[in-house]
Amino acid sequence: MNDIDYKLIGTRVKEARILIGISQEQLSWDTNLSASYISLIETGKKKPSLVIQESLYENVAL
């Protein structure tokens, strides 16, 4: 069974967020998540649900 690489997910979200030029705070507004939670996702310290991943992906165009 394949394990989900949450660190890689967080890294890709961060890279895409920086590429489109928005802050963690702006992304938190766009997704209704806290900026601190966005930070924890980006560093791989939190495992976002599929619904949250989808919201992040939609907002950073992944």
Residue 44 lies in a domain: yes
Question: What does pTM read for this prediction?
Answer: 0.89
Domain count of the fold of the chain: 1
**Structural domain containing residue 33:** 6-60
- pLDDT (0 to 100) of residue 61: 83
pLDDT by 10s per residue, the chain, length 62: 578 899 999 999 999 999 999 999 999 999 999 999 999 999 999 999 999 999 999 999 87
Residue 40 lies in a domain: yes
Residue 1 lies in a domain: no
Q: Are 60 and 17 in contact (CB under 8 A)?
A: yes
User: Which CATH number does the domain housing residue 12 bear?
Assistant: 1.10.260.40
CA distance 33 to 61: 17
